Structure 1
């Protein structure tokens, strides 16, 4: 039985936010030409948008992953027909008003002769037989949440593979689509559980007769140009392109020393440089890369802009991811499901001060967030907040919650320097936008030496 540690929760959030970030950054480039000169700065400016998508808005990739994530976050067994029926029902509701439903998915949902998982699977089989194939990449683009399920179970890997295959078959009947989704979900599961992926363990979750083929496909992608897999709307090339992007970013699946914030940015960059189905390849790659590096390695500028159906952002995705990996069990303090967190036992929670060099920055303890001065219009929080802790008048994209664990253990915050610099940079960005911002610090950390690292930005005490 695996204990759900803060490190596992950190990587689970990374998988979901990483996938959505890849989706949101790749969205405006979908079906366009290759752009080998594209460079990402790891800032909000990378979320450019276009005539169809707002900057940072996710597409069908994440929209279809969310019902799976929600089911897992409520503790439902994703292999159960009831859970799969709820997922299908949510997909149909979304598809009725969506602007980007995949051709095959739309045909399956439209052709259902019932409203449960069995009806969806039967419709998928008919669509497959009519067209002679159903190997689109839609089965994999939404699969990251399945990798978070069953984390505490001894037979979790095998059960994740089975549940993923069944969920893939709700719209994609072909073996390749189901195998690809199962393999990628298992890789994410292993990454979240162990912090690394041994490919032999991941491949062992596939049917024995097809393992060697998939091993060869990934070997072909290792070291290849992600754009060389030209038909990336096809599930095989989509997975190969995503795997190639992960490796092009410098991530070695087994070497944790390569699981860095810089590598994550390079992975997303490699994925969005390609032509055709850019957002889906970036979402697939971002899910695995995010599971390896963890949520704190994902630039806050990207997280700040991220949003999409049904009106969620990075903060909500993070909470759902942690709930999912915990099997739907909320934490004792209310961070995952509560409106407010109880910090009554903490000292320093009422502290507040105006920055000595910039009166547009107010630094305070966590208790100050609920009743902010009226002229504060942005928040950067270094401690966990309840769902309604930040005043409703502050727009979601102006409220940033940093992943920071209040622990002296060096392993608790694996990207500490990056996180602190990102927090300071975000305050600076708010000030550049002429916003008056507040920064909350964990009372137990108030005044500790690491905060001095941020003084060079001129926006932090």
Structure 2
């Protein structure tokens, strides 16, 4: 897709913003460390997984599993692409990551056991286990699909309807509840609009949600713009996670690119699942303000799965993945996107 330099910067900010929000939120997850009023969030590490300073958690690692497939040019609505994403999820899971959501752990663990027993079709099996989990656990619309959804938007900037299908399919690999799919559709469309048009519209994807759920989502999004961000906790539920991120963004004055930092501060101060809420918010903030809005020290510090020759992925690799995903040779030859 042909993008202007400004649009390209915003596209490269999506995954970077996700990772930065994640790493900033890690130390404060579930109040593992208190963020005092006179402090600003720092990439201190620790948290539930005893992460290194600047290391991202499962939120960005699972987003990377998607981004690596998107960067190949694969059609994310196809079985082959979904298989590749599911295989990446398992590759990450097999490494015994220190922080995995309960629902994701259950679905990936059951999938791994079936694959090891000789079953074929990894994405089909994963979706089957996702549905099985949802049937057994009626309150299964967790935030674990929404937290990783940003790369889907980068891959499908040109086609909002295909984007909605892909977002729901990728969500369904681990989260079969329709609300989890809805939240991913809404957030992906908001990211797409921010990259292309340079503004934030959290309601842009309402028409992509089934008609019978549109009024409820309209009210939920209205609440996110009018109620204090701090009311959206606990936020392990995909709806309150989306409301938390949305409230932090739209209720923080957006006078200039420092909005990126200030809105992440607000998101983390909501509390509870801080790394996930900040990762979700970071994806949309990166889409609005671009990679250039990310402070240099945060770029230098942020890192995580997957490792390459013994070293973790870096901010530059996130940016390069996004460039390769959105660019063709004519559009991006001058940016050296394919190096």
TM-score (norm 1): 0.67
Q: Within 2, Cα distance between the matches of 1:200 and 1:30?
A: 28
> Partner residue of 1:160?
163
1:131 aligns with 2:129: no
Q: Which has the larger radius of gyration?
A: 1
Q: Tell me which residue corresponds to 2:28.
A: 29
2:207 matches 1:204: yes
Q: Which residue of 2 aligns with 1:213?
A: 216
Residue of structure 2 in register with 1:292 after alignment? 288
Q: Distance in 2 between matches of 1:306 and 1:199?
A: 27
State how far apart, in whole Å, the 1-side matches of 2:287 and 2:301 are: 20
Following superposition, the deviation at residue 37 of structure 1 comes to: 1.0
Q: Provide Cα deviations, 1:121-165, integer angstroms capped at 9, x if missing partner.
A: 1110001111223211001000010111222x3xx1111111000
Task: Find the counterpart in structure 1 of residue 149 from structure 2.
Answer: 143
Residue 314 of structure 1 is matched in structure 2 by 315
More helix by proportion, 1 or 2?
2
Query: C-alpha displacement at 1:275, in angstroms?
Result: 2.0
Deviations 1:238-283 (A, max 9, x none): 11111111023223xxxxxx3x221111111001112210000000
CA contact 2:327–2:337 (8 Å) conserved in 1: no
Q: Which has the higher contact order (CA 8 A, sep 6+)?
A: 2
Q: Tell me which of 62, 65, 70 is aligned to 2:63.
A: 65
Taking a change above 3 Å as real, the CA distance of residues 162 and 329 of structure 1, as seen in their structure-2 partners, is: farther
Contact map agreement 2:264 2:281 (CA 8 A) in 1: yes
Q: Alpha carbon RMSD of aligned pairs, Å?
A: 2.0
Task: Say which SS state the counterpart of residue 309 (structure 1) adopts.
Answer: strand
The equivalent residue for 1:94 is: 92
- 4+ residue runs of structure 1 moved beyond 4 angstroms? 327-331
* Superimposed CA distance per residue, residues 88-141 of structure 1 (whole angstroms, 9 cap, x where no aligned partner): 101111111211111101111111234421111111000111122321100100
> 1:8-51 CA distances to partner (integer Å, 9 max, x unpaired)?
2110111111111000000011111764615438xxxx222227
Deviation at 1:72, TM superposition (A): 1.3
Using the size of structure 2 for normalisation, the TM-score is: 0.90
Q: CA 1:88–1:71 in 2, change beyond 3 Å: closer, same or farther? A: same
Judging changes above 3 Å, is the alpha-carbon distance between structure 1 residues 213 and 247 closer, same or farther for their aligned structure 2 residues?
Answer: same
* Aligned mates of 1:206, 1:14 — CA distance in 2: 26
- Which residue is 1:224 aligned to? 227
- Say whether 1:233 aligns with 2:239: no
CA distance in 2, matches of 1:270, 1:137: 19
- Any conservation in 1 of the 2:14–2:284 contact (CA below 8 Å)? yes
Identify the residue that residue 75 of structure 2 maps to in structure 1.
77
When the two structures are aligned, how many residues end up with a matched partner?
Answer: 323
Aligned to 2:40: 40
Residues 40 and 265 in structure 1, CA contact (< 8 A), matched pair in contact too = no
